[in-house]
Amino acid sequence: MYFKKTLIMAAALTLLGSMSLAVAQDEEKNDGLARVAFITAKDGHNQALEEAIVKYHHFMGDKEGAMHYNWYSVETGEDTGSYIARSGGHNWEDFDAKHDWNEEAGAKFAEWVAPHIEDVVVTITKTNTDVGIWPESLEGYHYYSATNWHIKPGHNNAFWEGLKKVDAILKENGWPNYYSFIDTVSGGHGNSLMIVSPRKSFADMAPKEPSFMDIMNKVMGEEETEAFMAEWAMTYKSGSNMLLKYMPEQSDYGHDK
């Protein structure tokens, strides 16, 4: 599968287990990087892994400079039953950080968590701040629809020009959904990105008004919209989609307990 065969298991576990990366000190001034781990539990070990992560995160809660991960379960698609752990808001220099608790943390991870993991793949991603509409707060958002997009070779400039045009139109005309484009800067495939859309519930996933085509037709006219969409569609293709569910217990580091 796309995520699962990229990295050697031992190396991935070492990266995830040490958690030796510093949290960006100024969240408003960072490189927009995130460290993302795609995790597959051993058969029959999902509940044990979830319980182990809670225990491990509480252990890590008071470690200065530790990277804190939000956890998500994969609810649909070919990787249903797997997990994604993500820590965002980082600068490149955060990945060089070392701490005096690394060895102890690695030992605890190896004891509590690693026995329940079948496979891990780690990537570094970057949020594209030039396009997208995002809520001021993610409170109440429990689901995230994530779709891979692949830019066709030789069409990079045309794709981004088209996307920026669409993005501006949606922002100016009341598009009722949120979305963000995520680039994989290490550990992925070239010319690929992911569009992520947060939703509060399954009911929140129902189509809303005005629709995408309603807005485009209103601004550009039906004939021009049809011509534009046909031309832009030649620059990319949409890939696999999955639905993620936020796991608050596994994302907690014991600060409120």
Q: What percent of the chain has pLDDT over 70?
A: 88
Q: Is the peptide bond before 210 cis (omega within 30 degrees of 0)?
A: yes
Residue 106 confidence (pLDDT) above 70: yes
For 247, the 3-state DSSP assignment is: strand
Q: pLDDT above 90 covers what percent of the chain?
A: 84
Q: What is the pLDDT of residue 19?
A: 42
**How long, in residues, is the chain?**
257
**pLDDT mean over 116-131:** 95
Q: What structural domains and CATH numbers belong to the chain?
A: 9-127 (3.30.70.100), 143-178+187-242 (3.30.70.100)
Q: What is the pLDDT of residue 102?
A: 94
Range scoring the smallest mean pLDDT among 9-18, 101-110, 161-170, 243-252: 9-18
Question: Are the CB atoms for 126 and 182 separated by under 8 Å?
Answer: yes
pLDDT of residue 255: 66
- Among 125, 122, 42, CA closest to 82: 42
User: In the chain, which ranges are continuous DSSP H helix?
Assistant: 9-18, 46-60, 102-112, 156-172, 212-220, 222-233
Position 256 pLDDT exceeds 60: no
6 or 116, which is more confident: 116
Mean pLDDT of the chain: 89
* Cα four-point dihedral sign 209, 213, 216, 219: negative
How much helix, strand and coil, in percent to the nearest 5, is found in the chain? 35, 30, 40
The pLDDT of residue 132 is: 97
Q: Looking at 14-23, 75-84, 245-254, which range is the least confident one?
A: 14-23
Range of weakest confidence among 18-22, 121-125, 142-146: 18-22
Instruction: Using pLDDT thresholds of 50, 70 and 90, give the confidence band for residue 136.
Output: very high
Give the residue-averaged pLDDT of 222-237: 97
Do residues 126 and 30 lie in contact, with contact meaning Cβ atoms separated by under 8 Å?
no
Rounded Cα distance between 45 and 49, Å, is 6
Whether the pLDDT of residue 175 is over 80: the answer is yes
Alpha-carbon distances, residue 149 vs 90, 197, 235, 239 (angstroms): 24, 14, 10, 5
